Amino acid sequence: MTSRPDIVLLVLDTQRLDRLSCYGCAAETSPYIDELATDSTLFQCAVAPAQWTIPSHASMFTGVYPSTHNTIQSFFVLPTALPTLAERLHDGGYFTAAFCNNPLVGVVNNGLRRGFLSFLNYSGLLTSRPNQAGVNRNLYDRYRQVFKGFLADTISSMQDVFARSDSLLNLSFSPMMVPLWQTALSFKGNTGKSLNDAACLLIERKDVTEDQPVFSFINLMGVHMPYHPSQKNLERFAPHLLHNKKAQHYLRHFNSDVFGWYAPLSRTQDELDKATLDGMYNAEVATQDELVGAFLKKLRESGRLDNTLLIVCADHGEHLGEKRLVGHSLSLYNELVRVPLIIRDPSNDLPRGTTVDHFVSTRRIFQTALTAARLADETEEVLTLAQSSTSDLDGGTVFSEGVPPRNVVKMLHQRRPQETEELGCDQTRRAVWSKTHKLIQTGEHRLELYSALDDPNEHLNLRDILPERVEALQEYLHTFVSHAGEPLSTREQAEGYDDPEVLRRLRDLGYIE
């Protein structure tokens, strides 16, 4: 392959790793993604840098951890000093386009849209098309598009105000506001349309100059709450809902209770409620998988797939009642931060049909894409995930940071103070994975140590059994936190690569994995 590849970053928003068949799910939820995985590199131990949408996307888009980009609240803006993946690829000659179903990425003004020539938003009342280049229209169409753009900007501004105001967000979580949320913001977006639009761009190349490569970012919200899977998959994965009135009532309440999507449970979930959430979630996974399969088929039949670096991942997972948690705001347990990562590389730098078994961070998607586009500098090339298919720089020491959204914390203190205190829901969490163990530190003193390989469901806290291991991993976290927000410059990194002590420090800080 001599030409630079198209690059597709397909984010399965809120997709749990353990609910895909290729990652061991007993239910056959994902035959099309499974088929892709057999022809790709599958990362068994990928870790999201954060537990929710904005900081996790910001890390994938910049290649750094949340403490460095500091985009950790819905009203924070990505620093302009950190160029995004789209900006780097656009400056390097790529046509950059986004097809986004998540309003926190596609609507809120947080800097994640920077660098895209075309950004299509499917999550609000209107599909927004800012900065779409090269479109020829007659006068009527131009005026119509200007009017649509004005309305879209107005809606975006209103949604942005809600994201930045605690009082308005408290109002927005009230039951009377749920219909407006689901209409104006449209939690689910339009998976089929966004995938079809992305396929059309990649195949038909409209407005793309000859021989110009394309970068497409696609965010799908099919498995996000509320749950409305296809009837076929509902009958397959949650058949008890067809006749069990109690389960039906629970699901109706759950789908309309936005606060309940974030709040810890006051007690352990009963078996029927758990089975209902599990079944509906699996049904959504299968429904989305079918649409992803149709997208992949179009690319494969057109011949475009064989010149496309395809990265399929999740920004985070989802709690479905485990550890008395629901949603994805408050923990760094594996249900949230162990995520799927599958890469199909046309150059075979990431070999087809292989797996990578040690821990890697999805923040390195940034360096991987730049390296494939031949736009990475020397310090970025060493962080491409292609390095991980053979040997990694330190065997996989990675970090994740969980800063709870402020508006959620405020509501939890008001409505669930006991559970908030008991589970530490208002505390910042940080986790480190190093070789065989994972340490989670919540606040200053709460520590949890788990066997990263033998206890993926994190049932047995080894803190008191292996105090030496706790101390060693705490040192990693201490060093990481003490240098948070102080990324080394490219020049400092490059000049230090021959110094073993500098290499060790870079690895300890998480800048090299």
**C-alpha closest to that of 92 among 362, 350, 380, 417:** 380
Predicted local confidence at residue 406, as pLDDT: 85
Which of the four pLDDT bands, split at 50, 70 and 90, describes residue 273? very high
Q: What is the CATH number of domain 6-331+352-426+483-509?
A: 3.40.720.10
CA 162 to chain centre: 22
Query: Residue 461 has what pLDDT?
Result: 97
Residue 52 in this model has a pLDDT that exceeds 70: yes
- The pLDDT tens digits of the residues spanning 324-338 come to 999 998 999 999 999
Rounded to an integer, the average pLDDT of 259-285 is: 94
Q: Kindly report the length of the chain.
A: 513
pLDDT tens-place string over residues 352-394: 999 999 999 999 999 999 999 999 999 999 999 997 655 555 4
pLDDT band at 481 (very low <50, low <70, confident <90, very high): confident
Task: Sketch the domain layout of the chain as residue ranges.
Answer: 6-331+352-426+483-509
Confidence of residue 408 (pLDDT cuts 50, 70, 90): confident
Confidence of residue 342 (pLDDT cuts 50, 70, 90): very high
- Give how far Cα 243 sits from Cα of 256, 265, 276, 320, 483, Å: 21, 26, 12, 22, 56
pTM: 0.87
Query: Pick from 309, 331, 288: which is nearest to 101 by CA?
Result: 288
Q: What is the pLDDT of residues 136-167, one digit of tens each?
A: 445 555 554 555 455 555 555 555 555 556 56
Give CA–CA dist 28/21, Å, rounded. Answer: 6
| Residue 269, strand partner residues | none
Among the ranges given (116-120, 288-292, 393-397), the one the predictor scored with the smallest mean pLDDT: 393-397
Q: What is the pLDDT of residues 432-474, one digit of tens each?
A: 999 899 999 999 889 999 999 899 999 999 999 999 999 999 9
Q: Which residues of 308-341 are buried (b: 16+ CB within 10 A; e: fewer)?
A: bbbbbbbbbbbbbbbbebbbbbbbbbbbbbbbbb
- Predicted pLDDT at 407: 81
- Helix H, strand E, coil C: the string for 175-221 is HHHHHHHHHHHCCCCCHHHHHHHHHHHHHHCCCCCCCCCEEEEEEEC
Query: 113: number of CA atoms within 13 Å, CB side?
Result: 23
- Which one-letter amino acid corresponds to residue 145? Q
